[in-house]
């Protein structure tokens, strides 16, 4: 499945450069196509759709297990195909293509010239925080859902993994709302400098020295 994840990321980047950018330039009157913040927002939408697709796929898998009486057999093979997971991997991979590239572009554009190298570190720090909080979330879910029928059971057929995916979809939606609230009032550096009558290159040279 990792192949589909990586492939969707690469294909999305190509589609964005060849198709989306020209269309966005004409409709949004932006020479860059979508702005970095817009790309991050699109990535968050894809993340929500990916979690919804994962939840629906897991519900279908659980129903198949129950229909064939395999819910309590951890070694049983459910009459399904692993390719049912492809949509969620494609959606998440496409979302990361938008989100991470937009995020890196944002840090590179908005950081002062003397902090350009640090911007890459800021970008990678968001990834590390994501891994940390995902581990924390799994631990909390284990504690809260209990042992009778936990969401993340050793035997997936006896758990409620789909609820965990719904939880992730809700958290992503809340994240998107908070992000839109914060991003709505943001003014890019070149726009702020233009309003002050300062050229971007002149500002970077001054900041660097």
The Cα diameter of the chain in Å comes to 72
Q: What letter would DSSP give residue 76?
A: P
**Residue 143 in tokens:** 């504690």
Q: How many CB atoms lie within 10 A of CB 98?
A: 25
d(CA 137, CA 24) in angstroms, rounded, equals 37
d(CA 200, CA 203) in angstroms, rounded, equals 5
Give pLDDT tens digits for 58-104. 999 888 888 878 777 767 777 778 888 899 999 999 999 999 889 88
**CB 53 within 8 Å of CB 88:** yes
Give pLDDT tens digits for 31-66. 888 889 999 999 999 999 999 999 999 999 888 888
Q: Where are the alpha helices (DSSP H) in the chain?
A: 2-15, 21-28, 36-67, 86-110, 116-145, 161-184, 189-195, 200-208
Residue 171: which pLDDT band, with cuts at 50, 70 and 90? very high
Q: Considering the entire predicted model, what is its pTM?
A: 0.84
Instruction: Show the domains of the chain with their CATH numbers.
Output: 2-208 (1.20.1250.20)
């Amino acid at each position: 499945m990792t192949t589909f994840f990586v492939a969707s990321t690469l294909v999305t980047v190509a589609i964005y450069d060849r198709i989306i950018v020209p269309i966005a330039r004409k409709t949004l009157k932006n020479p860059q196509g979508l702005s970095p913040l817009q790309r991050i927002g699109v990535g968050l939408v894809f993340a929500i759709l990916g979690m919804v697709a994962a939840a629906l796929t897991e519900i279908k898998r659980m129903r198949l297990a129950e229909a064939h009486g395999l819910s309590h057999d951890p070694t049983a093979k459910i009459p399904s195909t692993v390719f049912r997971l492809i949509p969620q991997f494609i959606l998440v991979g496409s979302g990361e293509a938008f989100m991470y590239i937009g995020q890196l572009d944002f840090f590179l554009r908005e950081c002062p010239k003397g902090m350009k190298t640090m911007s890459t570190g800021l970008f990678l720090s968001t990834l590390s925080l994501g891994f940390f909080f995902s581990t924390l979330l799994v631990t909390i879910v284990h504690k809260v859902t209990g042992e009778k029928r936990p969401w993340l059971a050793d035997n997936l057929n006896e758990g409620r993994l789909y609820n965990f995916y719904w939880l992730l979809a809700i958290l992503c939606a809340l994240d998107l709302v908070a992000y839109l609230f914060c991003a709505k009032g943001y003014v890019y550096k070149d726009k702020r400098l233009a309003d002050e009558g300062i050229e971007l290159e002149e500002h970077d040279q001054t900041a660097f020295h």
